[in-house]
Structure 1
């Protein structure tokens, strides 16, 4: 029984590394699932206003995470941001161990500092058991199409809806624009979920990259449930996430950057 609990905990770690969000997914705020093929609105219009600041620089980073609840387990994860073409970007996160693995990919373009996802893909394997999902965003009809276990569904979405991986990059871009509050709609699991964050004070912290000045962000939509989640982003490194802490029900996760390279 104890071994089984440890394996389940290791699986939770692999989920939690997905900066920022898989470790503390909340119940859906809206069950707007739809199988309609009508067009609620057209694709968000392209504005002529130039970006205030260029989008994030392509990079690769390696993180380690430690889960603590009586015992400590450590898993390594890697994320990479790359440009596929003049318009398309790709953000990838992967984690692997002897008994479990997780891979997530978000393909998107950027318009007026806003990430517009086109495809999100999820794959995991734990003790030989596999899970996968593919979300395809149709901005002409404002729908996201999902195929999970060969059971497709459509979900009506609003402009600026994100997937649960690319939202990390949107927070970083919004930090570059000087925002203090962050409110996002996420398409996940057949629902629209609302994730909210607030900017707090700057802190100087020690990392494997050295002693750095970081902006602290906390997640505020789940505080009533006794959960505490904090993130540290470093302006010096293009607002890269360098640290994450999450606590709930006597257990904790800590994510720390190991290495970083701009591509």
Structure 2
């Protein structure tokens, strides 16, 4: 079957891979100064919904200055495009977002949103569809993109369960994940031993999402699988480099 490039809906949910020197053990406590390292990563994905749709996505993490970081994901094709970015700073190994931006276009239908975080007031301003309003949030609330970096950091801190608040779609949502164990997987960058974790807050809806992180690559996300209602989505690492 011929494949065409298109942006799968899950590309914006969960990919994260800043590259650092590998710790000596999974429970090693990262130094605050080496919490993040600028990097670029490329992933290939296949979304199966009746036909197979294939796309290449790219992530870039850069340091804006001594305090601010910018995390970007983008994917483009003839049929669709997607761009997400999160600007944030780090405090005590915690991602603190300041600005989240989203733009997508699928078959000519465009969507956009801008979330501005005000931590003095513990609120976020949502500018979706040019109808701004404010939402009260609790400390440590993340956006949909920065959660990727936080989960990866918490894995490096040796946690086994993960519980997060996410500002998304005008609401604060609770995303939860669980660590399942180690597996050996084949990737384009070699055969790797990886930690498998699953998302647990949406299992009752018939969904199953699994992620694999490689400790030998400092917990780089190397594989993702998602299944629901006859649909499936797969992600695999193609390449990565530090900047």
Relative to the length of structure 2, the TM-score reads 0.89
Q: Deviations over 1:203-235 (max 9, x none)?
A: 111111111111101000111111110000112
Mapped contact 2:83–2:102 kept (Cα < 8 A):
yes
User: Does residue 234 of structure 1 match 2:206?
Assistant: no
Q: How does 1:182-201 map to 2 (within 5 A)?
A: 182-201=162-181
Q: How does 1:184-223 map to 2 (within 5 A)?
A: 184-223=164-203
Q: Secondary structure at the residue paired with 1:56?
A: coil
Distance 2:68 2:12 in 1: 21
The match for 2:25 is none
User: Does residue 249 of structure 1 match 2:229?
Assistant: yes
Give how far 1:10 is off.
4.1
Q: Deviations over 1:20-70 (max 9, x none)?
A: 18xxxxxxxxxxxxxxxxxxxxxxxxxxxx965531321110011101133
Q: Kindly tell me: are residues 56 and 188 of structure 1, through their superposed partners in 2, closer, same or farther at Cα, counting changes over 3 Å? A: same
Distance 1:177 1:94 in 2: 28
Give how far 1:165 is off.
0.4
Mapped contact 1:62–1:259 kept (Cα < 8 A):
yes
4+ runs deviating over 4 angstroms:
50-53
Larger radius of gyration: 1
The match for 2:11 is 17
Q: Deviations over 1:152-190 (max 9, x none)?
A: 010000000000000010000001100000000000111
The match for 2:80 is 100
After TM superposition, the structure 1 stretch with the greater mean CA deviation from structure 2, 63-72 or 179-188, is 63-72
Distance 2:131 2:57 in 1: 30
After TM superposition, the structure 1 stretch with the greater mean CA deviation from structure 2, 66-75 or 196-205, is 66-75
After TM superposition, the structure 1 stretch with the greater mean CA deviation from structure 2, 191-200 or 233-242, is 233-242
Mapped contact 2:13–2:144 kept (Cα < 8 A):
no
Mapped contact 1:52–1:177 kept (Cα < 8 A):
no
The match for 1:171 is 151
Q: How many residues align?
A: 227
Structure 1 gap ranges (5+): 1-5, 22-49
Equivalent residue for 2:161, pick from 181, 184, 202:
181
Give how far 1:19 is off.
4.1
The match for 1:60 is 40
User: Does residue 126 of structure 1 match 2:106?
Assistant: yes
User: Does residue 152 of structure 1 match 2:146?
Assistant: no
Superposition RMSD in Å: 1.9
Q: Secondary structure at the residue paired with 1:17?
A: helix
The match for 1:46 is none
Structure 2 gap ranges (5+): 16-28
The match for 1:74 is 54
Distance 1:206 1:19 in 2: 23
Relative to the length of structure 1, the TM-score reads 0.82
